[in-house]
Each structure stands twice: as structure tokens, then as C-alpha cells.
Chain A
Amino acid sequence: MTKQTLWLLVLAVTLLPACGVLAAQDERVAQLAKEVGGKGWIVCASRGENGTWDLFLMRPDGSARRNITNTPDYEEGGPRFSPDGKKLLYRRFTKGTVIHHDLWGFQGCLMIAAPDGSQPVQVGGDREFPWASWSPDGKQIACLAQKEGIQVIDLETKKVVRQLPRRGIYQQLFWSPDGQWFCGVANARMMWTVVRMNAQTGELTIVHEFQSCTPDWFPDSQHIIYPSRPAGQPGNHGQGFTQLWYSDGEGKDARMIYGEDGYHIYGGALSPDGKYVLFTRCPQDGGGSERSGAPICIMRMADAPAVAGLSKDLRKVHPQAKDAPVLQLVDGWEPYWTYAEIGAQK
């Protein structure tokens, strides 16, 4: 046996199991894609061919992707379907605006359109209706402003129907599907705390403290999903990486959903039945809104907690984490999911 043959043999013995694992993973990912492919639509912001941020619709397996705004003179982002899937709200920014990963809800104009992006209507002027999020019936929005606090606004009349102090909440306000709660990011005992607020009384509950942000609701209105960067991680020069977590609304039972050393996980959102989770996986902190986003991923909630990649540090903290199949789609930012059927391409 020549030296060269021996090397080839060693290489084959080393790589074959890895190839097998990859093939099995590919098979599991393909199965996941098949499973979610017909389950409604995902909307997200991505860079269009014109170079600006546009909104795109796609099937959850990434197929049938289409640009639904296609506005070379504007940037668009932050799309969210109304709970019945019949409307879409988003923010439209002047061309060239750098979309700030924390402040985007204060930037640009509120737009409301049909779910396929048609019939877009600008609601108010620049920076008005900040952090607008849907009421359960889609007839009102909740907004977050510095001095005005949290305002519930009737969309037809544009009148404020209810107002609450914001009690330290400073960004990323979202109304629960049952209308009973708001979640947001607040200065509570410390900054970067995810909180839940009773939408009637204003009572505040700390959900998760320390470097946690961009919360959103589970469909049951009882759980909140949020990215969090726990302390004590040695990676990223001691700053650590952001993982995707969830807790109940009382702040109990915090659990990691997905993490990967070397990547910051943001954009967490559930499928309407809560069985799947959307997120973005970005090597840079912030989720990529200032650039071109990051790969949008889908995972089964049943596969949580999951750790991907080598992730030596994270696996030490979560030794029981699973190796979940993760379907990676195109680069984007702030994806959102509806099971409503939006219809054929225009």
C-alpha cells in the first residue's frame, strides 16, 4: 500500500461518517421543508434587486418567493400580518435610511396594505404611530411614545381610545393575540429587561432580565419568545452570543430554544399554531438590519432546546440540547408568519 493510498483511506474513514451525518441532516431538513411548505406564508424584509429593503412573501419552505413592495425609492421593514391575516402593517423609510435594529419602530411611516402588499396606505407622517402593533381584531393599534406612553389608537378614526404610562418600556412593544397584555423591553431593575404589561391596569411583570430584547408573543398569549445573551459566556471577547429563549408571562420557566456559538439569534417569531419557530442567524450582533439581514431559519419547537455547530461553550451549559433540523431560507430581517392563504401572484 503506497503512502498516498494510505492517506486516502484515512481521509475516507474520517469523512464518510461526517458525510453520513450531513446526508441524514439534509434528509431531516428536507422533511421539515416538506412539512411546512404548505403552511401559509412568511413575510420579511430583504434587499430587493433595486438594492433597497423591500418586503417579500414566500412559502415557509422558501418557494414562491416574490417581492410585494418593489419600491426603488423607499426602504420597507418590520412587516406583521394582522391576526386574521387580512392586512399587513409595516414601516416605510426614505431611501437610504439605515434601519436601526433597536429604533426601527420609531423610524419612517406606518403603512397598512393588503397581505400581498397591494393597496398600501400611509397612516400618518414620518415617525408617527411608533411601534404600531395589531389589536386582536385588527381594528386598533398599540403604539409606544416617549411622553405619551402606550396609546391604543382606533385605526378608522385615528383617535386615541386608551392611554397607559409606559413604565420604563422603551422599545419593541407588541400586543398579545388575546389583547390582555403588552410585551416590550424596559428599564426595570436593569436595562434590557423583557417585561409583560397588563393592557388594562398597566401592571408590569419582569419576564427576563439582563441583555434580553425584541420579545414577541406565542399564539397562546401566555408565553413570550425573546433573544437573550446570558452572562458568563467566554466567546465573542467575553461578550457572548445571543440565543433564542422563551418564558411564560410571569417570567417563570425560562428555556432556551436555539443557540449557536458564533451567531446572534434574533427575529424570533412563532408559527400561528406555535409548532414552529422563525429566527435569524447573524454573525454580527443586531440581526443585520443595518446591512442586508441574515439567513432566516425555521425549526420545530418540539426540537427545542437545540444547539447547532461546534458550540463548545454553549454545549457545556446545555448538555441535553438536541441537534435539530433547521431549514435555512434567504437572508432577511424580522420575518413573520401567517397561515392565511394570501392568494396567487399578482
Chain B
Amino acid sequence: MKVVSALILSLVVLSGVSCAKKAQKADTGADAKVTTLGSIEVTAQLEEIPGEVRNDPLYDYAHVMKYKMLQVHRGKVDKDVIYVGHYNPAKPRDGVADARVPQIGGNLKQFRVDDVHRMALEVPIDDYFMGGIINKYFGVVNDPIYWAVWTNRVSK
């Protein structure tokens, strides 16, 4: 009987730990920065990173990526798909700000297709970033290009 009780107890503890871990992992991406910076705040799924993400220490640039809209938290976005320019996307967001673009960041470490991001945005990109832009959608899509101010990872 003692053995059975111990087993049940262990299972309960283990499932509790598992649930706790799951609860820790689930993250809406909301934080003080993403919910206040920029004029638009969305949760969106990264659908495509066209072209190569360059990592050249001598040159800075923004890379336009395609997102599927999941939720608009602030501001107005009336498209199901948006195009977002990320500054120097080879760098983790918490280390990407520099003298040229000082006010950006987030907790996202790496851009991967299918991941979900919560982002604070501005639009159009040209009003907020003045530099080289890799935009493989140029001439293909006429939608405005958003500028990513803050990018957090979302996990379910």
C-alpha cells in the first residue's frame, strides 16, 4: 500500500511540475515595452523570410518579412498579411539597438518561420528607418511596410 501511495504521490508531483513548466513556457509576449512603444501592437505569425539574413558587421540594414496577422492589440491594421522590416535580424533583439537605431529591442533571439511574435510597430518604415532595406516584395506587393520597434516571442 505504501508503495502505491508513493507512486501516486510521485505522479501527482510530476504532473504538477509538468503543468508548472507548461505554465512558465506559455507567454503572450506582453511586457511594458511592447504594449506601449510604437503606435501599433499586434501578434502575428512569421510566414516568410525571403532571401538570406545577412550578418555583416560593416553594414546595417532592415529586412522585410511576411507575417500572418493573428491579433491586433493597439492601432489599426486591416490586412490579414503584413510586411514588417526588422533591423539587423541576425542579432538577438535585446542586443540590436545601436547609435543609428537606439529605440528598438525585444526578447526574440532568432527569427524562424512559423514562430509567433508580439510586436510594437510603426508605419511606414521610411519615416522611422533611414538605411538599406532588403525588400524582396518590392514591386510585388504595394502594401505599406511596417517598422518593428519591439519584438517579443510568443509561446503557447
A residues adjacent to B (C-beta < 8 A): 102-103, 146-147, 166, 168, 170-171, 187-192, 285-286
Nearest-neighbor residue (CB-CB) of B56 within chain A:
A239
Q: Given A146-B127, A168-B126: A187 and B59 within 8 A (CB)?
A: no
Q: If A102-B59, A103-B100 touch, does A187 touch B127 (CB 8 Å cutoff)?
A: no
Q: Does B135 contact A (CB under 8 A)?
A: yes
The reply to whether A170 and B139 contact each other, CB–CB distance below 8 Å, is no
A170 adjacent to B132 (CB under 8 Å): yes
Residue B6 is within 8 A (CB to CB) of chain A in the complex: no
Q: What are 23 of the A-B contact pairs (CB < 8 Å)? A: A102-B131, A146-B126, A146-B129, A147-B127, A166-B126, A170-B132, A171-B130, A171-B131, A187-B132, A187-B133, A187-B135, A187-B138, A189-B138, A189-B139, A190-B134, A191-B61, A191-B132, A191-B133, A191-B134, A191-B135, A192-B132, A285-B58, A286-B58
User: What are the 10 tightest A-B residue pairs by CB atom distance, in nearest-first order?
Assistant: A191-B132, A146-B130, A187-B133, A170-B130, A170-B131, A191-B133, A189-B138, A147-B127, A285-B58, A286-B58
Known pairs A190-B135, A191-B135, A192-B132; list 5 more (Cβ under 8 Å): A170-B131, A170-B132, A171-B130, A171-B131, A191-B133
Instruction: Compute how far the CA of A103 lies from the CA of B126 in the bound complex, rounded to whole angstroms.
Output: 16
Q: Which residues of chain A come closer than 8 Å to B130, judged between CB atoms?
A: 146, 170-171
A146–B133 Cα gap in the complex (Å)?
14
Which secondary structure dominates chain A's binding surface?
loop
Shortest beta-carbon distance, A89 to chain B, in Å? 21
Cβ of A290 to closest chain B Cβ, rounded Å:
9
- Residue ID in chain B nearest A130 by CB atoms: B130
Most chain A CB within a 10 A radius of its CB, from B58, B130, B133:
B130
* CB proximity of B33 to chain A, nearest CB, Å: 22
Residues of A within 8 A of B139 (CB): 189
- Give A214 to B128 CA distance when docked, in angstroms: 22
How far, in whole Å, are A166 and B134 apart by their CA atoms in the complex?
18
Assembled-state Cα–Cα distance A80/B59 (Å): 25
Select from chain A the residue with minimum beta-carbon distance to B59.
A102
Q: How far is the CA of A171 from the CA of B58 in the complex (A)?
A: 16
Question: Considering only CB atoms, which chain B residue lies closest to A101 in the complex?
Answer: B58
A28 to B36, CA, bound (A): 66
Closest residue on chain B to residue A107 by CB atoms = B99
| Residues of the A chain whose Cβ atoms lie less than 8 Å from the Cβ of B138 | 187-190
| Distance of A344 from chain B, by nearest CB (Å) | 41
User: A311 vs B12: C-alpha distance in the bound complex, in angstroms?
Assistant: 73
Complex Cα–Cα for A286 and B129 (A)? 21
Output the least CB separation between A238 and chain B (Å). 12
User: Closest Cβ of chain A: how far from B108's Cβ, in Å?
Assistant: 23
Expressed in whole angstroms, the Cα–Cα distance for A327 and B52 within the complex equals 40
* Contact residues of B between 75 and 130, Cβ < 8 Å to A: 100, 126-130
- Shortest distance from the beta carbon of A35 to any chain B beta carbon, whole Å: 36
Contacts of B58 in A (CB 8 A): 285-286
B-side contacts of A170, CB under 8 Å: 130-132
Residues of B within 8 A of A192 (CB): 132
Rounded to whole angstroms, the CA-CA distance of A31 and B128 in the bound complex is 52
Closest approach, in angstroms, between the C-beta of A297 and any C-beta of chain B? 22
Q: In the complex, what residue of chain A is closest to B127 when comparing beta carbons?
A: A147
Q: How far is the CB of B83 from chain A (nearest CB, A)?
A: 14
- Hey, which chain A residues are within 8 Å of B128, CB to CB? 146
B39-72 interface mask toward A, CB cutoff 8 Å, 1 = contact, 0 = none? 0000000000000000000110100000000000
CB distance from A190 to the nearest CB of B (A): 7
